[in-house]
Amino acid sequence: MTIAYLNGTFLPLEQAHIPVLDRGFIFGDGVYEVIPVYAGKSFRLQEHLQRLERSLAGIELSNPLTREAWQQIIETLIAKNGGGDQSIYLHLTRGVAPRNHNFPAEVKHTIFLMSQPFKDPEPLPGVKAITLPDNRWLRCDIKSISLLSNVLLRQHAVEVGAVESILIRDGYVTEGAASNVFIVKQGVVITPPEGAFILTGVTRDLILEVLQAANLPYRVENVSESQLRQADEIWVTSSTREIVPITTLDDRPVGDGTRGKIWQVTWDLFQAYKKKLRHLEV
Ligand code: PDD
């Protein structure tokens, strides 16, 4: 039985209900986080909570809880769901109010968390992605629950047998429908910079950290569509999929059409980092 948390109460997921006038339901007025858990320990929790704070500031919604209180809820939820590997979905809205676009005078947040099954991703043999125009809003740095464009962009990829849409805005790569994008050219890893057009992925930041620690060359700079098409390797990254090597882009092979050497090195470094966490006493 999956245990969820709703507004102060831990309860079976099936029993978690919200009123239809919740602004999350009516307007998509809220933000969220997805936090992986390995061996009962949340992965990069402080980074996720920090991004939550930035998203809340972005939608002008106060944070109802301290970091310690969030941590306490998350740790209890992990334990109630049996520890081990899982992923925690955290969802926060501007609460229930009569339907009216402007903010209600008094906000009582809706706070919802649930555990989702999570299996350590297998290193995929290499998969397809497509490119699509980035038709999302101009605040993609906010992890908003209003995900209609992302939903459509992912759906269009899946319909042609691809795992992700890589998005292009004004001739430059932004990110994936639900992931960040990296390319490799002549041994150098490149990923677009933080800003309003991308979500600053926790996985992305960790990859940059492990590359730096291992003294592997990387750059954070804009990636043009033509650089993407001429890349030796392309990866898409997220908390749930980790580092996915894209071997076919728009029906053409990426590099030599196999998972790249730099991907392998980075994947191994990433797994080693996770392994350390698994065995860390907390
Ligand atoms: N999405 N960009 C977008 C638009 C995303 O939705 C995600 C993750 C990322 C990667 O962020 P991170 O490395 O912190 O997971 C980038 C999550 C997993 C989701 O919506 O399920």
- Full residue range of the structural domain in which residue 197 is found: 127-277
**Whether residue 133 sits in one domain with residue 97:** no
Give the mutation target among 31, 34, 138 for probing the ligand 1 site: most ligand atoms within 8 A of CB.
34
Q: Indicate the range of 161-165, 222-226, 230-234, 276-280 predicted with least confidence.
A: 276-280
What distance in angstroms lies between residue 203's CA and the mean position of ligand 1's atoms? Answer: 8
What distance in angstroms lies between residue 245's CA and the mean position of ligand 1's atoms? Answer: 16
**Whether residue 91 sits in one domain with residue 164:** no
**Whether residue 50 sits in one domain with residue 11:** yes
Q: Point out the domain boundary residue: 66, 98, 117.
A: 117
For residue 244, tell me if it sits in a domain.
Answer: yes
Residues involved in catalysis: 143
Q: Where are the alpha helices (DSSP H) in 100-177?
A: 148-159
Query: What pLDDT shows up at residue 212?
Result: 98
Query: What pLDDT shows up at residue 277?
Result: 85
DSSP per position, 29-49: -EEEEEEEEETTEESSHHHHH
How confident is the model over 179-205, as a mean pLDDT?
98
Q: Where are the alpha helices (DSSP H) in the chain?
A: 23-27, 45-58, 67-80, 148-159, 202-213, 225-229, 261-279
CB contact at 8 A, 29 and 17:
no
Tokens 């319909």 belong to 159
CATH (domain of 223): 3.20.10.10
Query: What pLDDT shows up at residue 119?
Result: 85
Give me the number of domains the chain comprises.
2
Query: What pLDDT shows up at residue 122?
Result: 76
Nearby residues of 242 by Cβ (< 8 Å), 6 or more positions away = 121, 203, 267, 270
What distance in angstroms lies between residue 106's CA and the mean position of ligand 1's atoms? Answer: 31
**Element (H or E) spanning 10, and its range?**
strand 9-12
Residue 281 clears pLDDT 90, i.e. is over it: no
| Residue pLDDT, tens place only, 132-149 | 999 999 999 999 999 999
What distance in angstroms lies between residue 60's CA and the mean position of ligand 1's atoms? Answer: 21
Q: Residue 97's pLDDT band (boundaries 50, 70, 90)?
A: very high
Residue 105 clears pLDDT 90, i.e. is over it: yes
Three-state SS letters, 187-217: CEEEECCCCCCCCCCHHHHHHHHHHHHCCCC
Residue 215 clears pLDDT 80, i.e. is over it: yes
**Whether residue 171 sits in one domain with residue 247:** yes
**Whether residue 262 sits in one domain with residue 155:** yes
Ligand 1, atom 21, lies closest to the CA of 34
**Whether residue 156 sits in one domain with residue 106:** no
Residue 125 clears pLDDT 90, i.e. is over it: no
For residue 85, tell me if it sits in a domain.
Answer: yes
Give the mutation target among 238, 241, 244 for probing the ligand 1 site: most ligand atoms within 8 A of CB.
238
**Whether residue 192 sits in one domain with residue 54:** no
Q: What is the average pLDDT value for the chain, to the nearest integer?
A: 96
Residue 126 clears pLDDT 80, i.e. is over it: no
Using a 6 Å CB cutoff, which residues line ligand 1? 34, 150, 175, 178-180, 199, 201-204, 237-240
